[in-house]
């Protein structure tokens, strides 16, 4: 799969149903999983056959693929977690922050749960310095 196809699939994650997103979250977290493993990780899990049907839909949409492990199918995402999270963050930034990186960072810094350590502040400063040097 080329980068254009991966980018298109990553953007497609934004149009998933709540349950489909939950399944994708499980697969990104675990890397690969069977139907039973996915079901065990879902909040208020649907039936085994419902999970299997949702996995089939996600596969038809091109978001996941499966391999056979004896009688079981093992599912995994077709797009890397990094590409999916970049696409999702870009969507949030465009939708809620008018494309402003500064506003996104400001919002993150003002969240009460975002208590950064001295090391994290130093790492952020290093990343900003590197981005400036690279012209970003």
Write the DSSP string, 33-52.
B-HHHHHHHSSS---HHHHH
Please report the pLDDT score of residue 114 as a whole number.
61
pLDDT tens digits, residue range 35-89?
999 999 999 999 999 999 999 999 999 999 999 999 999 999 999 888 888 888 8
**Segment among 5-9, 71-75, 103-107, 125-129 with least mean pLDDT:** 5-9
pTM value > 0.75? no
Contacts of 14 (CB under 8 A, 6+ apart): 87, 88, 91
pLDDT band at 121 (very low <50, low <70, confident <90, very high): confident
| Choice between 6 and 98, residue whose per-residue pLDDT is larger | 98
CA 100 to chain centre: 21
Q: Between 69 and 8, where is the model more confident?
A: 69
For residue range 15-42, list pLDDT tens digits in order.
789 999 999 999 999 999 999 999 999 9
Walk me through the domains of the chain, giving residue ranges and CATH numbers. 3-81 (1.10.10.10), 100-133 (no CATH)
Who wins on pLDDT, 12 or 83? Answer: 83
Q: Between residues 23 and 10, which one has the greater pLDDT?
A: 23
Q: How many residues does the chain have?
A: 136
Residue 113 pLDDT > 90, yes or no? no
């Amino acid at each position: 799969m080329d980068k254009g196809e991966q980018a298109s699939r990553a953007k497609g994650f934004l149009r998933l149903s709540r349950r489909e997103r939950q399944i994708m979250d499980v697969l990104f977290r675990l890397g690969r999983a069977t139907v039973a493993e996915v079901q065990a990780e879902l909040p208020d899990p649907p039936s085994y056959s419902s999970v299997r049907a949702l996995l089939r839909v996600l596969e038809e949409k091109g978001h996941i693929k499966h391999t056979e492990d004896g009688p079981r199918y093992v599912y995994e995402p077709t797009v890397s977690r990094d590409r999916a999270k970049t696409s999702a963050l870009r969507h949030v930034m465009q939708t809620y922050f008018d494309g402003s990186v500064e506003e996104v960072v400001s919002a993150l810094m003002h969240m009460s749960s975002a208590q950064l350590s001295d090391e994290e502040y130093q790492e952020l400063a290093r990343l900003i310095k590197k981005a400036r040097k690279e012209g970003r």
